[in-house]
């Protein structure tokens, strides 16, 4: 592999075939960055001579994805400037796909937001960071479900609507069912009401917790966290049921000692 973009450009100008065999482990751009990560001068050379900068390795990662994972901001930004893509499918809103992309997703998420913020009017940027996906789930909902606390903090600081509801009427607190840190962040920092009625059945986050989770131990732990954050287990839903009565009915069949313990939180 030639280590100089200038020399490589000269070779290609004279008609040298630089295509790699089908058995090659990486596309040529990946090879270039593996030799000299951070050298953005490779990109225009490859584009000029029709080399695909969106080619993927065997694990389906583009060069842009690898540079983001390696925190190489200069090359990541240069790739985006040259219309590189980090994903193959476009159906899901970009930020939601970024959250689901992998662990940790924050580098990719923050890169996308910061780039768009520089180029978008303020209102358009607000729309971007709140863009809902299927069923109306916004980036805030998805980050809460994934327990991506760093992204939730970033969205809060960027002015995202932390109280937004999906098409079923659920807010982010009803997506964060198990993580103590995520629930504490949403209530204590983001200011989400732990007792807000949601959905057409007027469920509180506690109602949704006991109706959604199935493991008795996890249900009990989640309720203890919510109680510590100010949840009121005696609020009734539209059918007149409290989250505590639903929990009693569900849990007593699994754990005869549950009802005695949960009385402490009444």
From first to last of its 266 residues, what are the pLDDT tens digits of the chain? 556 666 666 666 756 666 655 555 556 666 666 665 567 887 887 777 777 888 777 667 777 877 777 777 788 888 888 878 777 666 788 899 888 876 567 888 998 899 899 889 999 999 999 999 988 999 999 999 999 999 999 999 999 999 999 999 999 999 999 999 999 999 999 999 999 999 999 999 999 999 999 888 899 899 999 999 999 999 999 999 999 898 878 776 655 555 555 555 55
- For residues 201 and 175, state if they share a domain: no
Domain boundary among 88, 122, 137: 88
Domain boundary among 173, 192, 211: 192
Q: Does residue 93 share a domain with residue 186?
A: yes
Q: Which domain holds residue 43?
A: 1-88
**How does pLDDT run across 14-23, given as a tens digit for each residue?**
566 666 555 5
Q: Which CATH number does the domain housing residue 252 bear?
A: 1.25.40.20
Same domain, 160 and 114: yes
Task: Give yes or no: residues 188 and 201 share one domain.
Answer: no
Say yes or no: 79 and 100 in one domain: no
- For the stretch 192-231, pLDDT in tens is 999 999 999 999 999 999 999 988 889 989 999 999 999 9
- 33 and 21, same structural domain? yes
Which residues contact residue 135 at a Cβ distance below 8 angstroms, ignoring those fewer than 6 apart? 166, 167, 168
Same domain assignment for residues 12 and 34 = yes
The tally of domains found in the chain comes to 3
Same domain for 122 and 83:
no
Considering the domain architecture, whether residues 169 and 103 belong to the same structural domain is answered as yes
Same structural domain, 95 and 185? yes
Which one of 88, 106, 135 terminates a domain?
Answer: 88
């Amino acid at each position: 592999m030639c280590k100089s973009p200038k020399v490589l450009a000269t070779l290609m100008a004279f008609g040298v075939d630089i295509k790699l065999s089908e058995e090659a482990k990486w596309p040529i751009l990946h090879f270039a960055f593996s030799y000299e990560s951070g050298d953005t001068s490779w990109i225009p050379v490859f584009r000029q001579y029709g080399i695909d900068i969106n080619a993927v390795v065997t694990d389906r990662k583009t060069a842009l994805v690898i540079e983001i994972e390696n925190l190489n901001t200069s090359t990541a930004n240069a790739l985006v400037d040259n219309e590189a893509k980090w994903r193959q499918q476009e159906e899901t809103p970009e930020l939601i796909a970024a959250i689901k992309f992998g662990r940790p997703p924050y580098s990719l998420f923050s890169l996308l937001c910061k780039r768009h913020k520089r180029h978008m009017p303020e209102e358009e940027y607000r729309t971007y960071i709140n863009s809902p996906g299927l069923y109306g789930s916004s980036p805030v909902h998805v980050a809460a479900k994934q327990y991506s606390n760093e992204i939730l903090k970033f969205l809060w600081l960027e002015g995202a609507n932390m109280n937004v509801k999906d098409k079923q009427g659920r807010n982010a607190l009803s997506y964060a069912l198990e993580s103590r840190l995520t629930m504490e962040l949403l209530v204590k920092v983001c200011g989400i009401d732990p007792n807000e009625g949601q959905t057409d059945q007027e469920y509180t986050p506690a109602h949704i917790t006991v109706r959604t989770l199935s493991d008795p131990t996890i249900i009990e732990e989640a309720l203890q966290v919510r109680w510590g954050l100010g949840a009121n287990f005696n609020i009734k839903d539209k059918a007149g049921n409290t989250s505590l009565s639903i929990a009693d009915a569900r849990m007593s069949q699994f754990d005869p000692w549950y009802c005695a313990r949960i009385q402490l939180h009444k």
